[in-house]
């Protein structure tokens, strides 16, 4: 799947998917065939981090 290149759009897209369709980041990454480490690095470079207890990036 082609993810948005812009970090803010990526943040919004991933959080929407996590909120509406996936119970965890691992489930999202498995289903969309996305490397979790790479995704977290991309969003981390933009200042976002994953909160497992809330299942979202902040």
- pLDDT above 90 (res 1): no
What is the distance between the alpha carbons of residues 29 and 20, in angstroms, rounded to a whole number? 14
What is the distance between the alpha carbons of residues 58 and 32, in angstroms, rounded to a whole number? 21
For residues 12-30, average pLDDT: 98
Q: Across all residues in the chain, what is the average pLDDT? A: 97
- pLDDT above 80 (res 30): yes
What is the distance between the alpha carbons of residues 38 and 21, in angstroms, rounded to a whole number? 21
Q: Burial, 57: exposed, middle or buried (Cβ in 10 Å; 0-12, 13-18, 19+)?
A: buried
């Amino acid at each position: 799947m082609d993810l948005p290149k812009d970090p803010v759009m990526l943040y919004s897209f991933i959080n929407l998917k996590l909120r509406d369709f996936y119970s965890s980041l691992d489930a999202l990454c498995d289903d969309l065939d996305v490397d979790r480490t790479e995704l977290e690095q991309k969003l981390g470079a933009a200042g976002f981090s994953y909160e497992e207890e809330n299942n979202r990036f902040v």
